[in-house]
Structures are given as C-alpha cells and as structure tokens.
Structure 1
Amino acid sequence: MTEWLQHWLDTRTRLRPRTRNGYAEHIDRYLTPHLGGALLSELTPGLVQQAFDAISYHTTPTGDRLSPATVQRVRATLRAALNTAVRERLLPSNPARGLRLEPGTGARPVVWTDQAVAEWRHGGVRPAVAVWTKEQTRQFLDFASDHRLYALFHLVALTGLRRGEVVGLRWEDVDLVKGTVRVARQLQSNRGGLVELAPKSAASRRMVALDHTTTGVLRRHQWRQQQEAQARGQEWDPREFVFTGARGGPLAPERLSRLFRKLNDESGLPPVRLHDLRHGAATLALAAGVELKVVQAMLGHASIVLTADTYASVLPEVAREATERTAWLVLRDSGRVRRCARARRGRRVLDSAWTHPGPISTNSRLS
C-alpha cells in the first residue's frame, strides 16, 4: 500500500499545490501508518474500517481529537487512490466504500455577539468559524487604516476575495474608472516558493464590482505603492501585483495570514481567521439586503446551495428585523381581519337556516 499510494500521488500531474500537499499529508500522517504494510490485493473493507477506527482517535498538533470532517477527507483521499486501482484492474472493487464514519459537517460561521465575546474573554470559548459584526469590522478597519496593506483588508472585508485571489491580483485586473476587479489568477505556496495558478473553478473566474469608497482606497494604495517604488529607486510597473511585500515582491499567502493574526491580536477584537473575513463579507452583504444570487457571484461559488448553507449566517439585528417584518405582515390588518371574520360567522348563521332545494336545472338557473 505504501508503494501504491506514492505511485498514485506521483502520477497525479494536474493537481494544484495545496491539493497535492493535502493528499501527501493524509498519506504520510494517517494512511501509511495504518495501511502501509498491507498488500493492495489483500485489502478488505474490514481492514480499512479497522484502520479508520484508529485514525479517528488521532490528535491534532494542538491536542484536539481529529475532527470528523478531517477523517472524511482522509477517506476521500484513500477512495480516490483505490478507484484508480480498480480502473487499472488491480482490485475488483473499492474496499474504502461503505465505511461507517461519523458524519463530517463543516463548521458554520458564528457571529461574535456580545454574549459570545463575553464567553471568550472569561473562558476562552472560541467558535471554530467566527465572523465580526459590522461594528467590529469597522473597528478593525479603523485600527488598520494606517497600515501599508490597509487596502487589502478593506477589499477582502467588503468583497470576500479568497486569500490566494487577493495576493494574486495585478493592476491590469483592476479598473479604477469602472470600479471593477477581475479575478483571473491566484497565488499559492509550493515547496517554499510561489506559483501563479488559474482560479480554482470556472465560477471563481469572475468580475467583482467595487463601491466608490473601495475604489478610492485602491487609488490611494496605488499612489502609495508608486511612492514606495520611487523610494527604492525603481520604476513602478502597472503590470505588477496590487499587494506586495515591503520590498516590492509578491506577498506569500501564509505571510499575509500571520500579519492579519498579529493585527487582530493588537486590535483587541475577538479572534477571526483571514478567511473568516470572506464569511463576514457574505454575511454583511446579506444583512444589507443583497440577493443571495448576487452574493454567490461575488464569492465565486458554482452552486447557490453552498452559498446559502455556508455563508448565510444571521446577524442578531437581521434576525430581529425579520421577526418584526413577519409580525407586521401578519398583524398589520389584524383589526380588519377580525371584523371580516365576525362578518363571515354571521353569514354562516344565516346560511344554515336556508335549505338547499336540490339540483337546479339550466332553465331555472337562467330564470
């Protein structure tokens, strides 16, 4: 199995770097230790089930038990490798099908309400995925307003661009006259370097509209970037990346995440991940009354179901407004409704005193 899993990974030539790294981690950390000594031809559903029962008790580097969602992803890696073995007629069927595993449901965004913040400050209770309220988002942007990469955080917080997409933006993708950003590429880390890739899907290749404030923020960022290039004795290149390191080079996604985490800590706001700004952008857009289909296009999702299921977190004020609207819709004419009900009851009393004469002929109906 060790040889087959490595062979399978080596022959997957079209994998993205992050996907390849994820498969390699699953193989090295979980599959090889539990199945590596077995012969491919002798693999059975019972043996695979036994291995995954043990894998489910693994712990993460932070000491937490492996989540069911992670176990499901490891199973998906094994199934893909064994499906290839079935296609090459090395196995009659896939023994990784039909495993009994705990369902892995993705964590849904939780809003940092006052109660959630109080629980975090007193007991360290922190949701797996959390988003800021509009006030908290505004506080962070105010705090980071003087940072050289403020425009990046502003753009992500309002449009929900992915980390790789925002660091992969070039100025040729930004139209400051029309107020649009074209998502045409992304940057990913690969073995210590950066690689430029196409967006992860056809839906991810999209045009994102900008509001006037964000357009102005990008104009100021462009001016500052030109000043930085001039101070380094370089000529500013309009074809280069929109967001760069201090020396003008491309910005690594992991470095950006570390910078955001540092600013988050310094701001005193409850913790969120950089990717959670994407969740927050969708949540705030829905709170502003933006249609779900428009939010789906903004995020670059192929399915509106994914947008609704994952990103439609309800802010407290939106929930209250929804209940008020529902009550108003039902009760706005309650007085008139009660009067009509009394009138209908009166008509039923009169009708009950009248006996139906039976079938009516056409002639009598006309007369």
Structure 2
Amino acid sequence: MAEIKKVTLKSGAVRYRTVVDAGRDENGKRIQITITKDTKTEVKNERDRIMHQRAAGALIAPSKITLGEWIDQWLEYKQRDVEETTIRTYRMALVHVTDRLGHVRLQELTEDQVKDCIDDIVANGRRKGGEAGTRLAVSTADGILTRLKEALGRAVVRKLIATSPAQYVRVSLADKKTDKRERPKARPWTVPEVQRFIGGIERDRLYAPLLLSLMGLRPAEVVGLRWSDIDLKLATLEMTNTRTMIGNVKVLEKDAKTAAGERVLPLPSKALDALKRFKALQAREKLAAGEGYTDSPYVVVDQLGIPRNTRHLREHAYRLMRELEMRRVRLYDARHSCLTYLANAGVPDHILAAWAGHTNANFTKRKYVRPDVEDLRVAATAWDSFHGGDQKAPV
C-alpha cells in the first residue's frame, strides 16, 4: 500500500497525498487514483473508502469519458443485438442529446441537465418534417429519453457511473397536455372506410398487394413476399422475409422483425383470388416484355418485373386515396383498423397476436385495437336495454 506523503505547495500550503490502485480497465490498463486532501486523516479515510468499494465490486473509477463518447460506444455495443435500421433510428434519436449534452463528462452529468435537455427537445427539437427549431412530438421525445435511459443504464452496469441521472426524468405533464391539444393523433380508417377503399381499387394492378396490407401485414412484409412464400393450392402465406427502407432511399432485405413475425397465415378467399389473378397478369406482362423483363422472386413488382419497395407501395396507395377522395392514412396504420375489426368480431387474443406477428397478446390489444364510436354503439344499445329494465340486455 502506498504511503501518505506530505506535499508543500508553492503557496506554502500543506497537503497530503497518496495513490490507490483501483484495478484495471477493460483493456487491461492499470487504474490508479490520486487522493489529495488537507489532512492525513482525510486521505486515509478516502483511501479506505475506495479500497472498501473495490473489494465490494462497487468502485466507480474516475473517467474523463463524455456523454457523447459513451453514446457512440453504446451504439457500437447495440449493433450486436439489433438490426441496422434500428441502430440508425437510435442514432437519429440520440443526436438530439449529443447536440446538447455530448460535451459533458459522463460522471458529471446531473438529473437537472437531463431534465432541461428533454424540456428543450420538446420545445425546440424539430429538425425535419416541419419548421426547424419548433416543437417536437412528445412521443418522439419519449423515444429519445427511452434510448438515453438505456445507454445510461448500460453505463451503470459497466461501473462508469453509480446511478443513472435519467432514471426518474419524465416528459413534463404540461408538455403532454400541450401536445395532446395541439397535435391530435391521426385516426386510422374505420371499417367502412377500409371496405370503401377495397371496393374502389379492385381493378387496380396492385390490388392484391394492397389487399394484403389491408389484412394486417406490415408494408415491409408485403413487398418482401416471394411467390415461393405463397401456396395457392393450400391457400397459405408464409411470412419470413421483409424488405424495409433505410432513410427512404436504401432497401434492406432481412428476415422477419421477430421470431413471432415468422408465421404462416391462411389466405382469405378474396386475397387468394386476387393473388391468382396477379400472378397470371405478371405472366402475361413477362411474355409481352420479352427480354426487357426482369425475373424476380418477389410478388410486388412493376410491369417489367422490377421489385417495388415500401415507398413505391405507399405512394401508389396515396394516389389511389386521392382519386377516391378518401382521407389519407398510412398503410401501416391500416393494421389498427384490421386488428380492431378482428377483435370486435370475437377473434381470441392469442390468435389476434399471432396474426399480427406479435409475441405478447396484451401488446397487440393495447397498441393496435382502437374501437371507434361506431364500435361502441353496442354498449349504448346495452345501456338502453338496461335503463328500460330489460334483464336480457346484451353484454
């Protein structure tokens, strides 16, 4: 154990100093902590505290790493666990934090700094999709905070910090109320709207893929479908492949989003018939194009066999919505309408989750089942019977 030395500063002041061995870092480099105090007793007490924490495995060695540097390390670590598209989403979210707090040393980061950062992100965080520097959606800020908490939680595990300064930070209630008042949530289509759209696009070339989008499949799943995934005799569809977009520019082909996403679905008769007709149409298009046709395994291709992506499918759907003078909604949001319809039709929760490609049935119902006012009329009818004294009121 290093001795405690008396040190006389240029000013004449006397200090006491020692060096404590704090183990080794992740690269095997020796960590030493220098303790300088006014009295020998203070140095001894601090040395004993450090040695006790080291023995207990709770020592937090001093580090100069900044929050920005740690976030970069955490993103590199996360690449082991998540898809490229997810890492890109994490990086885009956390840039809001690194712009504001990236220079702060991780061990000096405070809860107040994190709270002020989140408040500023909500108030001024918009970077695109509107006027830069204006309010950002609370849901987006919540996502940023979730990623920051995860990164700081990992720093706690690595013993870079004792506790996470973001652990108890929340988006303020005032911001949540303002967001709810100024940013009403987009409503998915009602069942009648879905049915009107289906009826209006029946003669469209991409009727079959759009119909699949309107029976609960994700857009990336639809454009990732290959004809080998579909059994037209058994009327089944096997979902194992997706083609998603990075930055709305680059196509990334990968397996299903989760293990539950890999599923086999029975095809409703209308979808089965539409797929048969679409396959026959593609055969005629190939014959007409001759050598100009591109052979592709995918279901969703253009007249020359070139695969279409989610952006193409989305823009095509938006054009059809304009032509039909219908309210514009995202194809992805059609999942809400479809799954709500299945729930209202009495489909059991576990079947609902399996159809959607989810592991957790509670998640499916919480996030995707959204009854509208028409769905609730059965309850109003039940109250009419109750108030009228009918003991056989529907439930």
TMscore range, shorter length? 0.7 to 0.9
For residue 215 of structure 1, what is the amino acid of its counterpart?
Answer: L
- Cα deviation for residue 319 of structure 1 reads 2.3
1:18 aligns with 2:85: yes
- Cα deviation for residue 127 of structure 1 reads 5.0
Q: Is the 8 A contact 2:100 2:117 kept in 1?
A: yes
Residues 148 and 332 (structure 1 numbering): CA distance in 2 closer, same or farther, change over 3 Å? same
Aligned 1:163-174 pairs, distance under 5 A: 163-174=219-230
Of 179, 183, 206, 2:235 maps to: 179
Q: Is the 8 A contact 1:287 1:315 kept in 2?
A: no
For residue 10 of structure 1, what is the amino acid of its counterpart?
Answer: E
CA offset digits 1:149-178 (Å, max 9, x no partner): 111111111x20011111111111111112
Q: Secondary structure at the match of 2:78?
A: coil
* Higher share of residues assigned helix: 1
- Cα deviation for residue 24 of structure 1 reads 1.4
Which residue does the alignment assign to 1:44?
110
Q: Secondary structure at the match of 1:128?
A: coil
Q: Is the 8 A contact 1:283 1:315 kept in 2?
A: no
The number of residue pairs the alignment matches comes to: 312
CA offset digits 1:302-338 (Å, max 9, x no partner): 112122222222244432234435666895558xxxx
Unaligned runs of 5+ in 1: 106-124, 335-367
Residues 133 and 84 (structure 1 numbering): CA distance in 2 closer, same or farther, change over 3 Å? closer
Q: Secondary structure at the match of 1:232?
A: helix
For residue 110 of structure 2, what is the amino acid of its counterpart?
Answer: T
Which residue does the alignment assign to 1:273?
330
1:287 aligns with 2:354: no
CA separation in 1, counterparts of 2:118 and 2:375? 42
Q: Is the 8 A contact 1:179 1:215 kept in 2?
A: yes
Which residue does the alignment assign to 2:170?
100
TM-score normalised according to structure 2 size: 0.71
Which residue does the alignment assign to 1:189?
245
For residue 16 of structure 1, what is the amino acid of its counterpart?
Answer: E
CA separation in 1, counterparts of 2:116 and 2:104? 12
CA separation in 2, counterparts of 1:130 and 1:162? 18
CA separation in 1, counterparts of 2:159 and 2:98? 22
Q: Secondary structure at the match of 1:131?
A: coil
Aligned 1:196-207 pairs, distance under 5 A: 196-207=253-264
Aligned 1:339-354 pairs, distance under 5 A: none
CA separation in 1, counterparts of 2:115 and 2:374? 46
Of 127, 130, 135, 1:62 maps to: 130
CA separation in 1, counterparts of 2:345 and 2:198? 18
- Cα deviation for residue 48 of structure 1 reads 1.6
Of 101, 124, 145, 1:35 maps to: 101
Cα RMSD for the two superposed structures: 2.7
For residue 313 of structure 2, what is the amino acid of its counterpart?
Answer: L
Judge which range, 162-171 or 277-286, deviates more: 277-286
Residues 314 and 84 (structure 1 numbering): CA distance in 2 closer, same or farther, change over 3 Å? closer
* Higher share of residues assigned strand: 2
Which residue does the alignment assign to 2:21?
none
Q: Is the 8 A contact 2:221 2:243 kept in 1?
A: yes
Q: Is the 8 A contact 2:286 2:305 kept in 1?
A: yes
